[in-house]
Structure formats: C-alpha cells, structure tokens
C-alpha cells in the first residue's frame, strides 16, 4: 500500500477510541436507528459515524465500515456481512450483502454510494441484532480541499461507520423511577398540543395600486428587513400591489417582484382579492404573439399545458434559453407534477405531504409515536399514505385534496418542524423540502417562504434542480427516464416519464397553431433523429407502433453505419496517397544523404582504390539532384495542404449530417434533403478544385528541368 493510502486509512480509523455512541454526521441527515436487543444480550452497536473531510475523501463516494469486538479488535468472521437497502428500491433491484474481508490496512468493508440513493446499512450473518445507519446519501454541497486538492463535491461524499459488539445494558427501574443501569429511563412521549401552533405567514393575494408615502422606501427580496434590498421607491411613486404577507406588501416595481412595508403605501384604487397564480399570470406571460389560443379546461392535459404556458411562458423561455433546452420540457414537468398550479384557490402553496419521507427524518427515531398517527405501504412507500390526529380514531387518506394536505402538514409540524418541511413537495414543480440545498436555499424554511412568496422562485428552482443534479444533458437528449429517476425516484420513473412525453406532445400540438405567430425557432428546434410521426399523438412512436419504431431504428443505424463506412473509405483515399508521399519524400531525402556520404568517401580515396574525380562527380551529382528535387518541390507544404483538405472534408461531412438531423417537416423534407445534398456536393467540388489549383501551383520535375 502506498504511503498516501496508509495516511488516509490512519485518518479513517482515528475514531476507534471513541467511547459510547457518537454521530458526527447529523448535519448530513444521517441518523442511528438503535437495535431492538434484549437486556443483557450481545448486539452490534454503532459507536461512531463520521462524514469524511475533503482531505480524507478526495472525491470518493463510499460508505466505509469497520467491525470490532468488545476489546476493540477487528472481527474476522466470514459469515458476517454488511446488508443494505435504499429508499424506493424495487423488488428486482439486487442489494447483495457485502463481506467484511478487506486487508488490515483498509476499512473492513465498503459500499459504493450512487447518485439518488438514500442508504440504510446494518450487520447480519451471525444472528445478533444490529443498529442501523440511516439516511446516508451524497447529495451534499461542494467542500473544497486545501491547496487545490480534490475535495468533496456534490455526489462525491463518503462516510465511515464503526460497529462494536456490545452487551445491551441491563436497566431495572426502582420505585422512584431511577435505574441501576447505565441508561436513564426513557422520557414519556411528548403530548400533542390541543391547539396547533400558528403557521408562518401565508400570502394573501390582492390587486390594487398604491402610492408611496415615505420619503424613501426600500424594496426587499422577501417580507422582512432581513432580506436584501433590491430597489428604492420615493414619496409619490405609484406601486402595483399583488399580495400581502403580514405587514408586508408584495409589489411589482419595474417588472421585478419585491416587498415593502404596508405602513408606507397608501391605496389609490379599489382593492381586489386574487389568487397568486392569477395575479402573477399577467406578469410572467409570454409575448402576445406566442400565447396559445383556445386553451381547453385546465382539467385536461391540453388545457393544463396551454394555461401553464400562457401564465409563465416568459419565465420558462428565459430559463430554458440559459440551459439550452426546449421550454416545452419544463411545461411538461410542471403539468405532470401539479397541472402547473403553484398555489391553491385559497392562496396557499400547493403541497403534498409524504409520510415515508417524514418517517425517514423523524419517524425512525420516534417509531411508536409515528405509528400512532401515520402509515404507508412498506413495499411501495409512496403509496398507502394515511393519517389520524387522534390515535384512537380511524385512518384517513392524506391526499384527498389540498385542505387535507395542509391539515396533515400542520399536524406534522407540531411533531417536528424541520422534518415536516423536508417531507412536503412544494409548488408547481413539487420539489421536496429536503432538496433545499440543491435548489439554492440554506434551509427548507427559506425555500418554503420563497415558494410561497412568488412563482418565479418555484420555476427558477426547477431549472436549478436540473443543473445541480446533472440533468440538463438528459433533458436536451429527450431522456426523460433518467430525469424521472432522479426527480421522482426509481420507483415512479416509468410513470412520470410517460406523463412528460404526453405533455410534450400536447405542447407540440398547441405550438403548431402558434408557430406562425412567432414562437422562437431556437425554442422549437431540438436535435433529434428524423422519425416517422406517431399514429397516437399522446404516445411516442416506440409505444404507439413498436414494429414501425424497430424498423425505423434499424434503418437509421444501418444508414449511419453505411455513411460512416463511406466516409472512412473517402478518408482512406486521401490518407493513402498522403502516406505514400511521405514515404517517397523520405526515400528521396535518404538517397541524397547516402549519395553525399559516398561522394565524400570516394573523394578522399586514391584513384587506385576506386576513388578519383569521376566516381565522386557521379555520386555528388546524384546527391545534388536529390536535394534540389526535395527542396524545390516543397514537400512540407504539400503535406500540410493534404491535412487541411482532410479537415475540410470532415467539416463538409459533419455539416451535411447535422442538417439531416434537424429535418422534421414532412411537407418540406424532399426540398430540404435536396438542398442539403446540393450544398454538400458544391462544397466537395469546391474542395476538389482548390486541391487541383494548389497542386498545379507547386513546381514539379518537368518545371524544374525546363527552368
């Protein structure tokens, strides 16, 4: 083992002297779930969990594990394994237990941590109960190392867990409730308050024009003085009010949304109550010529797509252009998640409370209490969500409507505010609260307040999520399966990928009626293979007609292979003469050198030994002719020109095929193919003419002889 690796391992094992139980990774969402071991029995106890520093990790993404006995020595048991699973794991996805068989100078075992997984790991194989490490994942912010070394990056974080075989403490309670063991008696459950706490201020939508009464009034990014100042208003300035949060007014200033204190704005017209989505629709709508006409009911796919675009098209165009993706993709995701609705009719944020996520962040550590009020399916954890405020009442569905979602959410916040915020998906894009760091917020509370304040924060976060999770390329390629696996989880990837495709098809239909009115070509064109139209607009060709799709795919693959073969043969036609020319020029140069050397030797030898003027003159002349021919024919120039022509040939070839990839209009496909072929032939003819002209410009042997 290298000295560097030994040094790394010393850092990893420095925590073996820990006594008791130490979880130093709580800031990374990791918790320890205690084993249900009988009093006085042996079990595997987690005595240390650490997140590796940048210097220790150096860009890896692993869960390292060590196992020691009661005396602190490494356990060597071939039957002992590390078992593990992850949230959303399906039955067909294997998770084979990992042996603890690494050499003494390495951790006993390790698991690879993959992007999107939230791991739970424990020990099995010797029939002893085991603690579990829960919530291990790699979606944490970058942590650069010192001196420019590779550190911790998003999806490149590692953890170290140390198990010790331990005897469960014997705890006996005395008459006064004290114990003679090492553990205090468990505290009684915290009673549920009769009256729920007051939730954070909620946006109340309004619509009116006001006038600033203060000499100078700061416009802030959020509803409070802790938020950054983004603009300044002066006495007498008019201001458009679009909502209210407590004592703060949501306003629009120069097409920018912000907040001012209500004490310094005097109403100048009739106040009208509106929902935030209605208020913000006019602000963020696309240009008039790009609005979709004849929008159907929002309850239909076509209606939801058209309504979402007409309300928020300008935001979607701006963000999509920055990432180089089609705005229809974002519309499709928003409609799949929430029908494009950021707020309910009461002005509150659209949310969905996920019982299994609340269990992960709170319920595992409070199992009995959680089971009194929440339940979910143990296999498909995103299903079977029920709840009850009273443990003696019957179970109720969690997802009946938004009023119920908020009831469940408010109840959960009484148990644990942070975990409850982590367990809701928010707004039009339905981003989970535990993803707050990935979308640029320091806490889930900050994300919740921003989403409640303005839909633009919701839409910006959708694009930020794509960027943070490396999904931009997948969306550009139309790989919605990969997107859904990360965005919605592996268990629901197929379902949401299909929804996204259906919504994109609906957008394309609506766009077709609008394209003549100015939808930007850059937003319309997405690089893809020319494909026959699907007989069912709501489904891709691969699902609507698998046989036609398979035949088309085979045809396209063969076409590309044939054209690649043709290009390779053409390239070889250039390269073979090129290498022959190189060889001939090399031979000519060698002949000149050899003739020169022979001439020098003969000149130095006496006539009797074969020297003399005659032989020397012959070989000297041969050397001179060889060098004269080599330099006057300028071989380096010829070789450089050949390389240039080869490069130009590649450019012509790639340009031709790039144009073919963008041919999608069946009405003009013949004209576009003809134009592309004609241009390619013209460029090839020009290339041939240039090659011939330059060849004639170089001197050859007849030119040299006649000169």
List, in sequence order, every beta strand (DSSP E) within 235-353.
238-245, 248-253, 256-261, 265-267, 272-273, 351-353
Closest CA to 133 of 44, 2, 194, 55: 44
pLDDT at residue 115 in the model: 82
Q: How far is CA 468 from CA 130, 440, 678, 696, in A?
A: 35, 9, 44, 57
Q: What does the DSSP 8-state code read for residue 154?
A: T
- Between CA 232 and CA 236 the distance in angstroms is 12
Place of tokens 């095929």: 657
List the Cα angle 342/344/347 in 5-degree steps: 95
Structure tokens at 23: 């979880």
Sheet containing 374-375: give its strands across.
374-375, 386-387, 396-397
pTM, two decimals, is: 0.42
219-265, pLDDT tens digit by residue?
A: 887 788 877 777 888 888 888 787 788 889 988 775 466 789 999 99
Listed in sequence order, the DSSP H helices in 168-285 are: 276-284
With cut-offs at 50, 70 and 90, classify the pLDDT of residue 181. very low
444: its two tokens: 């889930």
* HEC assignment per residue over 649-694: HHHHHHHHHHHHHCCCCCCCHHHHHHHHHHHHHHHHHHHHHHHHHH
CA distances from 585 to 5, 536, 631, 637 (A): 53, 64, 10, 12
Most confident of 523-532, 635-644, 669-678: 669-678
Q: In the structure encoding, which two tokens stand for residue 119, read together?
A: 């791991």
**Exposed/middle/buried for 292, CB within 10 Å: 0-12, 13-18, 19+?**
buried
Q: What percent of the chain has pLDDT over 90?
A: 23
> Rounded to the nearest 5°, which phi and psi values hold at 229?
-80, 130
Question: What are the tens digits of pLDDT across the range 544-598?
Answer: 677 777 777 777 777 777 777 766 776 676 667 667 777 776 776 777 677 667 7
> Taking the CB of residue 538, how many other CB atoms lie within 10 A of it?
16
The token pair at 616 is 């020397």
In this prediction, residues 439-443 reach a mean pLDDT of 86
Whether residue 353 is predicted with pLDDT greater than 90 in this model: the reply is yes
Pairwise CA distance, residues 571 & 252, whole Å: 61
């Amino acid at each position: 083992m290298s000295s560097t690796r030994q040094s790394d391992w010393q850092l990893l094992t420095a925590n073996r002297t820990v006594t008791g139980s130490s979880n130093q990774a709580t800031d990374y969402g990791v918790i320890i779930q205690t084993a249900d071991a009988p009093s006085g029995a042996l079990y595997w106890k987690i005595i240390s969990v650490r997140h590796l520093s940048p210097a220790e990790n150096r860009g890896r993404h692993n869960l390292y594990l060590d196992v020691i006995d009661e005396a602190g020595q490494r356990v060597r048991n071939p039957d002992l394994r590390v078992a593990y699973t992850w949230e959303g794991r399906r039955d067909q996805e294997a998770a084979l237990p990992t042996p603890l068989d690494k050499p003494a100078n390495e951790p006993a075992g390790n698991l690879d941590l993959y992007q999107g997984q939230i791991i739970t790991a424990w020990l099995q194989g010797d029939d002893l109960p085991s603690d579990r490490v829960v919530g291990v994942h790699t979606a944490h912010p970058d942590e650069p190392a010192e001196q420019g070394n590779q550190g911790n990056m998003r999806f490149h974080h590692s953890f170290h867990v140390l198990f010790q075989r331990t005897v469960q403490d014997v705890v006996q309670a005395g008459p006064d409730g004290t114990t003679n063991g090492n553990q205090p008696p468990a505290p009684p459950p915290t009673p549920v308050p009769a009256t729920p706490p007051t939730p954070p201020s909620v946006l109340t939508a309004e619509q009116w024009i006001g006038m600033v009464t203060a000499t100078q009034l700061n416009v802030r990014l959020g509803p409070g003085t802790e938020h950054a100042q983004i603009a300044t208003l002066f006495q007498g300035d008019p201001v458009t009010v679009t909502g209210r949060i407590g004592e703060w007014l949501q306003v629009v200033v120069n097409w920018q949304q912000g907040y001012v204190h209500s004490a310094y704005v005097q109403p100048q017209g009739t106040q009208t109550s509106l929902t935030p989505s209605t208020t913000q629709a006019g602000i963020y709508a696309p240009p008039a010529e790009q609005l979709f006409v004849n929008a159907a009911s929002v309850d239909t796919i076509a209606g939801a797509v058209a309504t979402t675009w007409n309300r928020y098209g300008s935001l979607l165009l701006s963000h999509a252009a920055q990432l180089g993706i089609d705005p229809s993709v974002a519309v499709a995701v928003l409609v799949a998640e929430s029908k494009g609705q950021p707020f309910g009719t009461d002005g509150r944020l659209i949310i969905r409370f996920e019982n299994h996520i609340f269990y992960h962040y709170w319920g595992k550590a409070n199992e009995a209490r959680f089971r009194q009020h929440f339940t979910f399916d143990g296999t498909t954890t995103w299903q079977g969500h029920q709840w009850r405020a009273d443990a003696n009442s019957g179970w109720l569905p969690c997802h009946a409507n938004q009023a119920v979602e908020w009831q469940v959410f408010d109840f959960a916040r009484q148990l644990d505010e942070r975990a409850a915020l982590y367990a809701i998906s928010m707004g039009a894009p339905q981003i989970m609260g535990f993803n707050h760091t990935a979308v640029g917020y320091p806490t889930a509370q900050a994300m919740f307040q921003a989403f409640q304040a303005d839909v633009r924060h919701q839409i910006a976060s959708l694009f930020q999520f794509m960027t943070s999770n490396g999904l931009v390329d997948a969306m550009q390629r139309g790989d919605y399966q990969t997107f859904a696996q990360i965005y919605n989880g592996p268990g629901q990837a197929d379902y949401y990928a299909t929804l996204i495709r259906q919504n994109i098809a609906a957008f394309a239909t609506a766009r077709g009626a609008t394209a003549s009115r100015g939808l930007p070509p850059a937003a319309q064109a997405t690089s893809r293979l020319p494909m026959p139209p699907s007989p069912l607009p709501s489904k891709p060709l691969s699902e609507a007609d698998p046989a036609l799709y398979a035949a088309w795919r085979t045809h396209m693959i063969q076409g590309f292979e044939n054209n690649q073969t043709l290009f390779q043969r053409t390239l070889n036609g250039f390269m073979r003469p090129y290498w022959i020319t190189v060889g001939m020029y090399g031979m000519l140069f060698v002949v000149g050198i050899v003739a020169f050397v022979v001439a020098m030797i003969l000149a130095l030898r006496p006539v009797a030994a074969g020297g003399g003027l005659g032989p020397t003159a012959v070989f000297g002349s041969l050397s001179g002719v060889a060098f004269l021919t080599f330099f006057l024919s300028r071989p380096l120039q010829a070789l450089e020109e050949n390389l240039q022509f080869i490069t130009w040939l590649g450019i012509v070839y790639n340009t031709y095929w790039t144009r073919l990839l963008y041919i999608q209009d069946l009405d003009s496909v013949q004209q576009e193919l003809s134009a592309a072929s004609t241009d390619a032939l013209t460029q090839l003819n020009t290339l041939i003419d240039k090659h011939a002209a330059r060849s004639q410009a170089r001197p050859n042997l007849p030119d040299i002889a006649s000169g």
